[in-house]
Structure 1
Amino acid sequence: MATTISDTTAANTSSTSTSTSSSKVSITGLGSGLDIDALVEVTVEAEKAAKQAQIDRLTTKTDTSISAVGTLKSAIEAFEASLTSLQTVSSSFDGLSASSSSSSVASVTAGSGAVAGSYSLEVTQLATASKVASASQEGGSSTTFASGGTLTVDVGDNASYDVEVSAGASLTQIRDAINDQLSSTAGISANIVTDSSGARLVLSSETTGEGTDLYVSGTGDLAALNINVDDEGNHSLTQQSGSAAGYITAAGNASYKLDGLELSSSSNTVTALSGLSIKLASEGSSTLTVATNTDGLKESINTFVTAYNTLLTVTNALTKVTATSDGSSTEAGALVGDASVRSLLNSVRNALVEPSTSSGGLSVLAQLGVTTNKTDGTLSIDDDKLSSALETHAADVKSFFSGDNGLLGRLKSVTEPYTATGGLLATRTEALQTTKAQLTEQQEALDRRIESLTTMLYTKYNNMDTLIAQLSATSESILATLNALNNSDD
């Protein structure tokens, strides 16, 4: 009977010692008296710590590097955009600038070969383009031309264009055919004007100047649309009047005077003065002035210096080692010691100091009062020296910066391999992303290994604790039997 009681006690002891969950088997240690959870946790952490620390360290370093490379790429691209802008605007580094005292009469821009001075301009007539109208068609815009055929449009004696018209086409359809075939290629457009007498086909040319009047002749019943041609089909300018065909505006040259010299031009954009492009806008008088472009040159040089300094500020932040605010330690930039950044900066500086051989007497930035700060490599401008230098070298600045093998071009040739699609920085980012993916795989593998280890440890400790509980129960049962025997002998 004692044995039965002891067996029940052993079973209860064993069952009380364990509890089961869906994730793991946890033992309270009642059988062995050990803190099983603590033992497993310490063992797992000891196994995991070194590898986890390595993964965390490398992940942080990789994320920081990806961010830093992205920052560097953005800074270089912003620098390139500034250089491109300075190169694209043709007047950025022009040594001379031109102005008009009356922009309503004429505007003017200075280019290569311009000479400083002041010029008197008098515009007596603007260049005009031909505009002509057909005779009125009593049927209005819906008038049809049964025969169809070919409508020939001559631009003076210089060019001739044929417009094919289908049989039975209306005046509206003829207008559309002219616009479709001649608007983009010949600069000739058509419209329809309607009044009480009927509808007229009106043609306008974009070409100005004498000898560019429009002449229209048609085959078959399209002859009703003839303009400025006689009965024999010869050119014959006739001013439009009443419902008849003729020119509304005759093509003509611009007439103007420069410093009293009478001149003529087929276009309202004239280049009579060397290096100047003058756009005539209306009849009247204006004074054209060409002078040193001091303000414009200063603005462009300042724009360049600002762009360069912005790039240097970013790279310095990424590559410098600086002391903390209390001086107790140092903080390193994300790309400290990076070979690609070091190579970039060296190449940029070499391009910056390389003497120009194609810009007259201007060969280095220092001649313009632009010098390098020894502390951080940024540029600074001495405005007084710059003003003085522009008095001598204004005409050389453009070729120095944007001419063949100019400073802007040299700098772009240095930076483009870094920012190009598939370039150095893109390749670097791709490699870092690959490293990050590998670290993610390592983390997942570590998590699986630790989970397996945890399960194994709990299983071992569970088995041990159960065995100890069973041994303890057996020992108690034997002792109880022996005690019972001793009591019966008495």
Structure 2
Amino acid sequence: MAVSTITGLGSGLNINDLVKALANAEKAPKQTQIDLQKARTDTQLSAVGMLKSAVETFEAALAGLKSSATAFDGYKASSSKTDVAKVTMGAGAVAGSYKLEVTQLATASKVASATQASTTYATGGKLTVSVGSNDYSVSIDDGASLTDVRNAINDQLSGAGISANIISDGNGGSRLVLASETTGAGTDISVVGENDLSALNIVGTDALDGAVPGSAGYITPAADATFKIDGLEMSSKTNTVTNLSGLSIKLEEAGTTTLSVAANADGIAGSVESFVMAYNTLLTVTNGLTKVTQTTDANGNATTQAGALVADSTLRSMMSQLRSALSNPVEGAGELKVLAQLGVKTNRDGTLALDKDQLKKTVASNPEGIKAFFTGEKGLFNRIGDITSVYAGKDGLLASREKSLTDAKDALATDQTKLDLRIETLTTSLFKKFNAMDSLVARLNATSQSVLATLNALNKKGSDD
């Protein structure tokens, strides 16, 4: 608690200014130390956070390129009419052009029962639903309604890819409609019911005559897809076909399209360029954090400004490892060993530059090797990932460094609180001491004046005698 004083009653001294000056003199050395350490810690904490973010962004860019199904594929597959068929490429594809004629898509069975005169089934029992040679049994309770039958089918056969619904004809009659997710000839839906559930019997290969209430059968028959590749007739039970080596073709509708497999020069060039940009972005951040700049102050004197992480061992070690990863030969990519063979070269400032003409030549001569070079088990991206994973992430060295700096900042805040408390205590003590001194001086002055007054009185009496 601060002690106040009235200045100068005894000693005439400005006690407030004296105490303030003494307290400030005591506080200044430690306060300067805390301020310098806090500024240094804040600067380093910001710099480490910036570096950590840059490394994680670099990691994410490489992960995106590595996870892309086509980023470094040597070949690219395309369809001239994607509304007829879409194509994706897998292993084993070779360059070429193929004419695809789709005459019919594969279809799944959809059937309807006869119109039901009664929609309540007193005896219930078992309803057998067959999809081709696969039989599924559905238990129906006594007294079930047509809605209950539909719900039972949906509950018990959803895992088999079978669904049911009810269609009303507007004249009081209703039909049970079943649909399958399984396409291809021979997978027609048939229904056989026990007891009064036999009213729901359906022969899936019979055509439904919607105009005849007693008619039951298929709305859509199960059928194979039929198509031609370069005039060769083919069929498939599904609309995804793999008749061309290395290609997965998704049939969309009847029609004709041209499927092409060609060198993926532009795609690979874009992926390599993305890698170069990602590395250069990281390097720009690290260069900024370690840059030393010679400048002059307002008076024309030479000064030096240094980046927050100049001579930082963690940053130096990481960048040294990354440079080695980029320059050392890669295994497992055949004749491709170094980035220079792909047209990627290092500038004098350490950034990477891409010669697209050189890259296109390499793509033309060794398209498959490029993918192995970057994304193979022993490829460049795995090598770089082994390095950056040590530094990035919540358990990385940079996160640990951030925590240490944060702890140091908290410790400085504690030191500041202790210093403020110590100076407050000192100030109180000084006020007490100066106030006591001031009171003593006041008493001494009063005593002095009393003695002088007595002596003056005695001297005057002696003179009168």
What's the CA shift for 1:444?
0.8
What's the CA shift for 1:411?
1.9
Aligned AA (1:332): A
Q: Does structure 1 conserve the Cα–Cα contact (< 8 Å) formed by 2:110 and 2:220?
A: yes
What's the CA shift for 1:400?
1.5
Q: Pick one of 95, 100, 125 that aligns with 1:121.
A: 100
What's the CA shift for 1:475?
0.9
2:15 is the counterpart of 1:41: no
Counterpart for residue 231 of structure 2: 260
Task: Tell me, in whole angstroms, the C-alpha distance in 1 between the residues paired with 2:289 and 2:84.
Answer: 55
2:190 is the counterpart of 1:211: no
Cα deviation 1:195-254 (Å, max 9, x = unaligned): 0361111111121112222222223332222221xxxxxxx6211123322111111111
| SS of aligned partner of 2:448 | helix
Task: Tell me, in whole angstroms, the C-alpha distance in 2 between the residues paired with 1:176 and 1:329.
Answer: 83
2:415 is the counterpart of 1:442: yes
What's the CA shift for 1:97?
1.0
2:118 is the counterpart of 1:147: no
Shift in CA distance, 136/369, structure 1 to aligned 2, threshold 3 Å: same
Q: Pick one of 167, 186, 197 that aligns with 2:142.
A: 167
What's the CA shift for 1:463?
1.0
2:162 is the counterpart of 1:188: yes
What's the CA shift for 1:258?
0.9
What's the CA shift for 1:446?
0.7
What's the CA shift for 1:116?
0.9
Counterpart for residue 392 of structure 1: 365
Task: Tell me, in whole angstroms, the C-alpha distance in 2 between the residues paired with 1:219 and 1:431.
Answer: 76
Shift in CA distance, 365/43, structure 1 to aligned 2, threshold 3 Å: same
2:433 is the counterpart of 1:488: no
Task: Tell me, in whole angstroms, the C-alpha distance in 2 between the residues paired with 1:343 and 1:426.
Answer: 16
Q: Pick one of 34, 40, 48 that aligns with 1:61.
A: 40
Task: Tell me, in whole angstroms, the C-alpha distance in 1 between the residues paired with 2:262 and 2:153.
Answer: 47
Shift in CA distance, 112/453, structure 1 to aligned 2, threshold 3 Å: same
Task: Tell me, in whole angstroms, the C-alpha distance in 1 between the residues paired with 2:139 and 2:284.
Answer: 66
Aligned pairs for 1:56-135 (under 5 A) are: 56-135=35-114
| SS of aligned partner of 2:363 | helix
Which residues of structure 2 form unaligned runs of 5+? Answer: none
| SS of aligned partner of 2:73 | coil
Residues matched between the structures, number: 456
Counterpart for residue 477 of structure 1: 450
Counterpart for residue 309 of structure 2: 335
Task: Tell me, in whole angstroms, the C-alpha distance in 2 between the residues paired with 1:301 and 1:340.
Answer: 28
Counterpart for residue 221 of structure 1: 196
| SS of aligned partner of 1:336 | coil
2:208 is the counterpart of 1:240: yes
Q: Does structure 2 conserve the Cα–Cα contact (< 8 Å) formed by 1:94 and 1:111?
A: no
Q: Does structure 2 conserve the Cα–Cα contact (< 8 Å) formed by 1:107 and 1:279?
A: yes
2:259 is the counterpart of 1:272: no
| SS of aligned partner of 1:431 | helix
Counterpart for residue 300 of structure 1: 271
Task: Tell me, in whole angstroms, the C-alpha distance in 1 between the residues paired with 2:127 and 2:66.
Answer: 47
Task: Tell me, in whole angstroms, the C-alpha distance in 2 between the residues paired with 1:392 and 1:215.
Answer: 57
| SS of aligned partner of 1:26 | coil
Give % identity.
56
| SS of aligned partner of 1:25 | coil
TM-score after normalising by structure 2: 0.93
Cα deviation 1:320-359 (Å, max 9, x = unaligned): 3233477922222222222222222222223323322222
Aligned AA (2:128): T
Counterpart for residue 431 of structure 2: 458
Task: Tell me, in whole angstroms, the C-alpha distance in 2 between the residues paired with 1:219 and 1:67.
Answer: 77
Task: Tell me, in whole angstroms, the C-alpha distance in 1 between the residues paired with 2:364 and 2:313.
Answer: 42
What's the CA shift for 1:257?
1.0
| SS of aligned partner of 1:103 | coil
Cα deviation 1:70-118 (Å, max 9, x = unaligned): 2222212212221221122201111111222222211222222111111
Which residues of structure 1 form unaligned runs of 5+? Answer: 1-21, 229-235
| SS of aligned partner of 1:77 | helix
| SS of aligned partner of 1:153 | strand
Q: Does structure 2 conserve the Cα–Cα contact (< 8 Å) formed by 1:25 and 1:462?
A: no
Task: Tell me, in whole angstroms, the C-alpha distance in 1 between the residues paired with 2:317 and 2:145.
Answer: 72
Task: Tell me, in whole angstroms, the C-alpha distance in 1 between the residues paired with 2:218 and 2:278.
Answer: 57
| SS of aligned partner of 2:302 | coil
Counterpart for residue 403 of structure 1: 376
Q: Does structure 2 conserve the Cα–Cα contact (< 8 Å) formed by 1:136 and 1:197?
A: no
What's the CA shift for 1:27?
4.3
Task: Tell me, in whole angstroms, the C-alpha distance in 2 between the residues paired with 1:79 and 1:300.
Answer: 14
Counterpart for residue 10 of structure 1: none
Counterpart for residue 284 of structure 1: 255
Aligned AA (2:346): T
Aligned AA (2:253): S
| SS of aligned partner of 2:137 | strand
| SS of aligned partner of 2:366 | helix
Cα deviation 1:343-398 (Å, max 9, x = unaligned): 222222233233222222222211111112231x2211112222222221222222
What's the CA shift for 1:131?
1.0
Counterpart for residue 381 of structure 1: 354
Aligned AA (2:343): G
Shift in CA distance, 64/144, structure 1 to aligned 2, threshold 3 Å: farther
Task: Tell me, in whole angstroms, the C-alpha distance in 2 between the residues paired with 1:342 and 1:150.
Answer: 76
Task: Tell me, in whole angstroms, the C-alpha distance in 2 between the residues paired with 1:177 and 1:351.
Answer: 62
Q: Does structure 2 conserve the Cα–Cα contact (< 8 Å) formed by 1:358 and 1:400?
A: yes
Shift in CA distance, 162/313, structure 1 to aligned 2, threshold 3 Å: farther
